[in-house]
Amino acid sequence: MKTRILLALHFHQPVGNFDHVFEAAVDQCYRPIVEHFERHPGVHAAFHLSGCLLEWLEANDSKLIDQIIALVGRGQIEPLGGAFYEPILTAIPREDALEQISLMRDYWSARTGVTPTGAWLAERVWEPCLADLLSCAQVGYTILDDQHLRYAGLPGGRLGGAYCTERAGAGIAVLPTDFELRYHIPFQSMEKLEANLSTLEGDAREWVLTYGDDAEKFGFWPGTHEWVYGKDGYSGWLERFLARAENGSAPFYAQSPAAYLAESPPLTKVYIPNASYTEMLEWALPPASVPSYVKIKELTQTPELQAAGNAFVRGSLWDAFLARYPESDHMHKHVLRSSRQAAAAGIRDARTAALRAECNCAYWHGLFGGIYLPHLRHGVYEQVLAADALLLETLAAPRALAEDIDGDLREEVILQSARVQAFFKPEDAGTLCELDYLPARFNVTNVMARWRESYHSGADITHESSDSDGVASPHERAVGIEKDALADYHFDKLPLRSLREFTAEHAPGAAGLGAFAGMNRASAPLKDWRIEGAGFVGAGSAGGARFEKRVAFESDTRLACAWKIQEIEKNACFGVML
CA of 42: how far to CAs of 111, 213, 255, 513, 575, in Å? 23, 21, 9, 63, 70
Number of CB atoms found within 10 A of residue 18's CB: 12
The Cα–Cα gap between 48 and 9 comes to 6
3-state secondary structure of 198: helix
Is 476 an active-site residue?
no
Identify the helix (H) or strand (E) that includes residue 119. Answer: strand 118-120
Query: Strand locations in 342-483, DSSP E?
Result: 399-403, 412-416, 420-425, 431-437, 442-443
3-state secondary structure of 575: strand
**Among 27, 38, 214, 411, which one carries the catalytic annotation?**
214
The Cα–Cα gap between 163 and 141 comes to 9
DSSP 216-278: GGTTTSTT-HHHHH-TTSSSSHHHHHHHHHHHT-SSEEEE-HHHHHHHS---EE----SB--H
Using DSSP bridges, classify how beta strands 163-167 and 170-177 pair: parallel, antiparallel or unpaired: antiparallel
> Please, which residues have CB within 8 angstroms of residue 270's CB and are 6 or more apart in sequence?
149, 152, 154, 163, 164, 165, 174
Residue 72 burial (10 A CB sphere; 0-12, 13-18, 19+): middle
CA of 125: how far to CAs of 116, 482, 494, in Å? 20, 32, 29
Residue 197 burial (10 A CB sphere; 0-12, 13-18, 19+): buried
Specify whether the CB–CB gap between 549 and 538 falls below 8 A: yes
> Please, which residues have CB within 8 angstroms of residue 302's CB and are 6 or more apart in sequence?
none
C-alpha of 60 from chain center: 24
The Cα–Cα gap between 355 and 349 comes to 10
Is 382 an active-site residue?
no
Which amino acid is residue 140, in one-letter code? Answer: G
The Cα–Cα gap between 175 and 349 comes to 36
Specify whether the CB–CB gap between 374 and 405 falls below 8 A: no
Q: Is the dihedral of CA 334, 340, 345, 346 positive or negative?
A: positive
The Cα–Cα gap between 493 and 96 comes to 34
C-alpha of 282 from chain center: 14
Using DSSP bridges, classify how beta strands 500-504 and 520-521 pair: parallel, antiparallel or unpaired: antiparallel
Closest CA to 498 of 566, 440, 577: 577
**Among 35, 123, 132, 548, which one carries the catalytic annotation?**
123
Phi and psi at 527, nearest 5°, equal: -95, 145
> Catalytic positions, please?
123, 214
